[in-house]
Homo-oligomer: A and B are copies of this chain.
Amino acid sequence: MKMKTMLWTAAFLLAASHVFSQSKDVIIEDFQPSSVNQPGHEYPMVNSQGRVRAQLFAPDAKYVQLDIGGVKYDMINDGEGLWTGVSAPQDVGFHYYQLSVDGALVPDPGSLFFFGACRYGSGIEIPSDDMDIFALKDVPHGHVQEVYFPSESTGTDRRAFVYTPPCYQKDQGKRYPVLYLQHGYCENETSWPIQGRVNFIMDNLISEGKALPFIVVMTYGMTNEIEFGGLRNFDITPFQTVLVEELIPYIDSNFRTLANQENRAMAGLSMGGFETKLVTLNRPDVFSSYALFSGGTYNADEIKEHSGLKLVFMGCGSKEFPDGVNNAAAALKEAGYNAVSYVSEGTAHEFHTWRRCLYEVSQLLFK
């Protein structure tokens, strides 16, 4: 008994000292303003460890907290009402966050706002060593067009964003393939063009000759009306009708597209991947390339009657289920399909995983 107690005590002390040493980890003082701050704002800042330092003037608050990655970090009052706090290191890439002021959960007025986590709220960019892929560079730029297309099935005119490649405005005779690209649960049609940085990823790939120029269409996947956890009972029909019967015909009659299966792809992240899978299984005649980003896998049985299928892409973060996408791609290849898996190193279920997935799949599409 005594031995056992001693062992438990030693284990506890080891565990405690581990927690203690982590919480006491040196904070490297190389903080820089986040790249997605409001104009003129120094805070929030990020350091080379991926820590976030937030600051808020709240002269009469009892407590202020930085709420990021599911953890609330206490901020400290300098005695004059200026509260500052630092988070633990975050994964590289893009994260949603908020502040708590005496329990009120509010956006940080220092950051730009993004639709994610079911709301427009604060976001922060943790620098990665491949930020270059989505940087605004001095290359020819495509346009992101906000369009409203008629939708009889929903009784309203619906919004979509359409990326047209840099050459689109110049050569008025040329027609282009189209990728339909879906956001995830608790996101909307602004998520890909804004935090997803679709236009910059495409501009850069096209200018380097790594991707063929194609059009990217992003609309709202009608994903957010369901109850959390209700994914199993999700009905794809209303969105499939909007996408296939209303949006695709609008795009094909208002943009210079190559309007056929061979030149049409569908991709989606997370729940948008789930939607991509449902739509492509229901309508194998519409798209010739399928891509799921942190959004599940296909097996050979599911797609065995899909004629004209050119590519199946399945990606996710290394902190998600890399074996899942790798094994699924290996099995599809074994069965004779052109299947590709991709694992984003060091990232989880976050937008940087999906930007990298887009970067990868765009180099394979329509070739």
Interface on A for B, CB 8 Å cutoff? 38-40, 56-64, 81, 99, 101-107, 109, 112-113, 118-121, 136-138, 141, 143-150, 157, 162, 169-170, 172, 188, 199, 224, 254-255
Contacts and interface: CB of A to CB of B under 8 A. Distances in A.
User: How many monomers of this protein are in the complex?
Assistant: 2
Contacts of A148: 136, 141
A103 B58 CA distance: 5
A61 B146 contact: no
A36 to B, nearest CB: 11
Contacts of A113: 107, 113, 120
Contacts of A162: 143
B59 A102 contact: yes
Given A145-B144, A169-B254, A61 B104 contact: yes
Given A109-B121, A141-B149, A169-B255, 12 more contacts: A58-B102, A59-B102, A61-B61, A61-B101, A102-B102, A106-B107, A107-B113, A143-B145, A143-B147, A145-B146, A146-B146, A146-B199
A146 B58 CA distance: 36
A255 B57 CA distance: 46
Contacts of A146: 143-146, 199
A38 B119 contact: yes
A60 B57 contact: no
